Structure 1
């Protein structure tokens, strides 16, 4: 590798703003804020989403596609399945 063209790679603490979760990782980002983490002083980078608050990792993900394409097409254009049993009203 050529000298002097690569940024400095150093440990940084990332703070999830939503949950307060902190983790340390190597990064080339710099920050004027610092934080004491595990007995040492590190630069602090604030992030909006991390694995602690992201819906994919937490299991709070919404599933928007509940029915299939055919059902959505039928609802959109008003087609009714003539072979389907009529819905029984429980009164």
Structure 2
């Protein structure tokens, strides 16, 4: 790596604004807001709108916009049953 062209990599706390879930990770993002973590140290705080705690894929609360597929629609249209 060339010196002086890469941003500083440091630990930050990410907080999900929907659920309040917090986790610590490395990032190059800077912020003025700080938070005291469980280890007693103070870290920059970055608020995120969605994380693994609130994302439908990870929580299992996924919304299915189309419940049935093409085969099921064909079978309903022409009166076939799945036996």
Query: Could you say which TM-score interval applies, normalised by the shorter chain?
Result: 0.7 to 0.9
Aligned-partner Cα distance in 1 for 2:56–2:9? 30
Superposition RMSD in Å: 2.0
Aligned-partner Cα distance in 2 for 1:84–1:9? 60
Larger radius of gyration: 1
Structure 1 unaligned regions, length at least 5: 86-91
Question: What is the TM-score of this pair, normalised by structure 1?
Answer: 0.77
- Runs of 4+ in structure 1 off by over 4 angstroms are none
Structure 2 unaligned regions, length at least 5: none
Question: What is the TM-score of this pair, normalised by structure 2?
Answer: 0.84
Displacement of 1:65 after TM fit? 2.1
2:9 is the alignment partner of 1:25: no
Displacement of 1:74 after TM fit? 8.4
Aligned-partner Cα distance in 1 for 2:80–2:46? 57
How many residues are matched? 79
